[in-house]
Structure 1
Amino acid sequence: MSVQSWIDVLKSSKKTALIHDGKRKIHYLFSDGKEMAEEYDMKTDELIVRRWRNKNSFGAQGQWELEVGDPMTGPGAPPEPEVIRENFSNPVFTRKDTKTSFQWRIRNLPYPRDVFSVSVEPSERCVIIRTSNKKYYKKFSVVDLDRCLLPLDGTALSFTHANNTLIVSYKKPKEILTLEQELLKELKKLKGTGEGDADCKTQ
C-alpha cells in the first residue's frame, strides 16, 4: 500500500489511548482483526514500543510480536524460564527509533568498527550487516518502508560502533516524517484514560 493508504488505514482503525507513567499508550484495532499497540514518550513524542498481534488460523488471539523496542525490558514481555534464557554474551538485536531515523542496535559485538560493513540489498528489500571476520551476519527489512512501498536508499544508511554495540541508522524519508507528524496530531486528539488526561489534548 502507498503512504496515503497506510495513513488512511491508521486513521480509520479503532483507537484507544491510555496516558500512564509519562507515556501515551495507543491500541489500534484494524478492520481485518489485526491489532497494534504503541507507546510514545510524552515529553519527546518518540516511539518507544510497537507491537503487533494477529489472529491465528483458529480465530484465537496470537502472541504479541515486537517490532520496535527492547524485548528485555518491554512491558508485557512474557517472563522466560531461567533454563532457556539466551546466553548474555550472544548478540542482541533490537530496534529503537529516533525522531529522524529508524535505528537498530546489536549489543555484544566486541569487534573493531572496520570489521563491519552495512549495505542495502534493493532486490531483496533488506539491510545486510556483514563482518570481514565472518563472526556476524544479519539480514533484516525496514518494515515501515515495506508497508508504504517506499524504495530502500543506500545513502540513507550509516552506522557507528561503541561499547561493543553496533548502531545502524536509516534516515527516515520525508514521506515517513510527514506520515508520523500527521499520525501524532491524530493521536494527541484522543482522549486518554488514566492519569494526566489533560496532557492528551491537541497541542
Structure 2
Amino acid sequence: MTNMVIDWINTLKSANKTCLIQDGKYKVHYVFANKDEMTEEYSVDTYQLMVRKWRRKSTGLTRVESWEYEVGESLSPTMALPNETLRENINNPVFLRLDKKEHFQWRIRNLPYSFDTYAITVEDDQKHIAVRTSNKKYFKKFSIPDIERFGLNLNKESLTFDHTNNTLVISYKKPEVILNLERMVKAELRKVKDDGEKSDIPAQICCLS
C-alpha cells in the first residue's frame, strides 16, 4: 500500500461524515479538516456511485464556492438570465463521467463523427487521457482523480472506447485497489438504516490497516 493510499485513507477517517437515504439514494456528506466538502450519492439498489461533487473552501471572506462535479452531472437545466445575451450552445460537446461497476466511464455527447475519427490515448506522463479527432474538430485531455489520489499511473491496456448515437464512450478498467475500496463502501452503506434520518457512517475504508 503506497503512502498516498494511506494518506487518503486517513483523510477519510478523520472527516466528519453523515449519511441519508433519500430518493432511492444513499447520500453521504464529508467535511474535511481543511473545510472542503465532498458529497457522494449511491444507488440503494446497486450501490453504484452516481454522483461525487466537491465544494472547496473559498479564500475570500464572503465568497461561496459552487459544487464541482467529479462524477455525474447537475440535474438543473442550463438557463440564461434575463439580462444575458449569450448562453451555451446546446449542440456543443458535453463531457461527463458516469462510472460502471468495474470501469471508470466518460461520455462525450454531441460528437457526430464516425468511429475511425477518434484517437483515445494515455499521454506520455501516464497521468492523463487525451481525446483527439483526425478532423481537428475536438480535443480533450483529462485525468482520473481517483487514480491521482493514490499516486498510480495510467495503463493504456485498461483503456477502451466506443461511439454510438453521437456519443463517444470511454472506459478505463478500475485497478484492484479501487475495486477493494468500493466493496468496503458497499459494506458500510448496508449498515445505514432507511429511516429518513441522517446517521453517522464509518469511514469508507476504516477497516483497512
Q: What TM-score, normalized by structure 2, do the two folds share?
A: 0.84
Q: CA-to-partner distance for each residue in 1:144-195, whole Å, 9 max, x for gaps?
A: 1001111111110000000000000000000111112123323333456517
The residue aligned with 1:146 is: 148
Q: Secondary structure at the match of 2:190?
A: helix
Distance 1:6 1:185 in 2: 19
Q: CA-to-partner distance for each residue in 1:27-62, whole Å, 9 max, x for gaps?
A: 001111110001101101111111101111125542
The residue aligned with 2:17 is: 15
The residue aligned with 2:109 is: 107
Distance change (3 Å), C-alpha of 1:111 and 1:45: same
Q: Secondary structure at the match of 1:28?
A: strand
> Unaligned 5+ residue runs, structure 1?
198-203
Q: CA-to-partner distance for each residue in 1:88-135, whole Å, 9 max, x for gaps?
A: 111010110011011000000000000101001141610000001111
In the alignment, residue 80 of structure 1 is paired with which amino acid? M
Distance 2:90 2:78 in 1: 16
Distance change (3 Å), C-alpha of 1:78 and 1:34: farther
Counterparts of residues 1-203 of structure 1 (less than 5 Å): 2-58=4-60, 60=62, 61-71=64-74, 73=75, 77=76, 80-81=79-80, 83=84, 84-123=86-125, 125-190=127-192, 194=196
Answer yes or no: is the 8 Å Cα contact 1:3–1:175 preserved in 2.
no
Number of aligned positions between the proteins: 192
Distance change (3 Å), C-alpha of 1:44 and 1:79: same
Answer yes or no: is the 8 Å Cα contact 1:115–1:133 preserved in 2.
yes
Distance change (3 Å), C-alpha of 1:140 and 1:174: same
Aligned-pair identity (%): 49
In the alignment, residue 147 of structure 2 is paired with which amino acid? L
Q: What is the deviation of 1:78?
A: 7.8
Q: Secondary structure at the match of 1:36?
A: strand
Distance 1:37 1:97 in 2: 16
> Unaligned 5+ residue runs, structure 2?
200-209
Distance change (3 Å), C-alpha of 1:188 and 1:170: same
Q: What TM-score, normalized by structure 1, do the two folds share?
A: 0.86
